[in-house]
Amino acid sequence: MQNILIIEPSTAGLELLPTAHAMGLNVFILTANQDERIIPTSYQKFIFKSVIVDTNNFLAMQEATVELHKKYPLSAIIPGFEIFVAHAARLSCLVGVPGISVETGDALRNKAKMRDALLKNDVRSPNHFLLEEKKDIVKIAEQLKFPCVIKPIDQSGSVHVSKVCNLNELIYAYDALCRDEWTEMGKGVGKVAIVEEYIDGEEFSIEGYVDQHGANIIAITKKFLSQEPFFVEMGHIVQANINEIMRAEIESYVKKVIEALRISLGVFHCEIRVDQQGPILMEIAGRLAGDRICNLILLSSGINLYQIMLQSYLGQSIYLDDIALKQYAGIRFFALNEQDKYYHIKGITELQNMSGFQEFKILVGPGQQVPPLRDFTGRVAFCIFTACSYDILQSLLNNAQKNIIFE
């Protein structure tokens, strides 16, 4: 029986636990066991052993991993969440198990390094500047045309990602980023940002995996965003309703991105926009997609990306007999309009009786404070539907949006 180590499984990464257990693997967890880094009780039964360590202290992680590997030889070290992709790369290198290179791990976490790798390999990427201190803002503004986008160097979930149209807005956005004491998994936002060219185009994400033959694309997902200046993801549909020419252009571009970053194994979640010049990278991550996208892929095609991620890290051959679309699957997130709380939800029963209904889940409970819709924390619930056509599914999701009322 093979032993695998998963670092801080959370959100989509939690589903690696039952999947690995079903594959007959011994699952070890590296976790701080505090704040968001607590494994839900329902997933504990899939864990062979948890190793408690400060996962924001790499030296402590390194020591714990080496000791574990001596006692239980590991076959793979896998990131269970975005923040730990580079950590997994370093630990894999340390104990000699398959993994992406340390350089690739860093580039997948640091958006400036990501952009630099694309430019070095002549792959289209937005013009960008690294912003480390407030005194540099004026100089950057002189070199980059407005509107532009500011985002933290290594965050996810649309946190502090915003469109700015002038110097004052850029200063305000950077100040807000620097002042924010919010943390996730014990990690703060930091004070380093990337300021980049605004791309006006339709947005998609591409999900797939990498093996010895290169990148394999499983799905192109259509993304629905909140109103600018923020870019909160409010819905997804698998597969995107695009023609074969655009599909081929997107797939070709994403494979160039994978090659430029030298991603050698694992799954990827690549976000792009398509403007008049074609596809261009927003960002790419070496992890499973969030927002239940992996579940949408499972519903639409039967392909299990959780299993594929484990197989890839273990060096197992991945055979997909058929990746044809069987149905469309979509998710719609709900937000409060001008409220900061709700106490009751109307329309759930009607929603559950609609054709194609799969799931409705509350993310923020009644009476709890809800922040403004500026990032993922402003979303209060979601629903998932399936349908035989893209247009029917979009209509179902739109009707769901109208029928659910927060009071």
Question: How do residues 224-248 score in pLDDT, each as one tens digit?
Answer: 999 999 999 999 999 999 999 999 9
User: Other CB atoms closer than 10 Å to residue 349's CB: what's the count?
Assistant: 8
Q: What is the pLDDT of residue 135?
A: 95
In 3D, which of 391, 385, 203, 363 has the Cα closest to residue 296? 385
CATH 3.40.50.300 fits 127-197, yes or no: no
Q: How far is CA 114 from CA 64, 133, 165, 198, 261, in A?
A: 29, 20, 24, 17, 7
Q: What is the pLDDT of residue 324?
A: 76
Q: What is the pLDDT of residue 304?
A: 97
Instruction: Give long-range contacts, CB 8 A cutoff, 24+ apart: 105-108.
Output: 105/286, 107/261, 108/261, 108/263, 108/284, 108/285, 108/286
158-192 CB burial, b ≥16 within 10 A, e <16: bbbbbbbeeeebbeebbeebeeeeeebbbbebebb
Helices (H), 227-281: 244-261
In 3D, which of 265, 244, 293, 205 has the Cα closest to residue 78? 265
Average pLDDT, 10 consecutive residues per value, the chain (407 residues): 97 98 98 95 98 97 98 98 97 98 98 97 97 95 95 91 97 96 90 97 98 94 97 98 97 98 98 98 97 98 97 94 86 94 97 98 98 96 98 98 96
- pLDDT tens digits along 106-135: 999 999 999 999 999 999 999 999 999 999
Out of 3.30.470.20, 3.30.365.10, 3.20.20.450, 1.10.150.120, the CATH code matching 202-406 is 3.30.470.20
Q: Say yes or no: do domains 127-197 and 202-406 share a fold.
A: no
Q: What is the pLDDT of residue 325?
A: 83
Q: What is the DSSP letter of 52?
A: E
Q: What is the pLDDT of residue 267?
A: 98
Which amino acid would we find at residue 247?
R
What is the CATH number assigned to the segment(s) 3-99?
Answer: 3.40.50.20
Q: What is the pLDDT of residue 231?
A: 97
Q: What is the pLDDT of residue 320?
A: 86
In 3D, which of 102, 67, 122, 101 has the Cα closest to residue 253? 122
Rounded Cα distance, 98 and 75, in Å: 8
DSSP one-letter string for 89-101: HHHHHHHT-S---
User: Other CB atoms closer than 10 Å to residue 34's CB: what's the count?
Assistant: 12
Residues 171/162, Cβ–Cβ less than 8 Å: no
Residues 223/233, Cβ–Cβ less than 8 Å: yes
Q: What are the boundaries of each domain within the chain?
A: 3-99, 127-197, 202-406
Rounded Cα distance, 122 and 128, in Å: 15
In 3D, which of 256, 276, 279 has the Cα closest to residue 203? 279
Q: How large is the C-alpha radius of gyration of the chain?
A: 21
Q: What is the pLDDT of residue 248?
A: 98
Q: What is the pLDDT of residue 103?
A: 98
What's the whole-number average pLDDT of the chain? 96
Q: What is the pLDDT of residue 73?
A: 98
Rounded Cα distance, 264 and 256, in Å: 13
Q: What is the pLDDT of residue 156?
A: 84
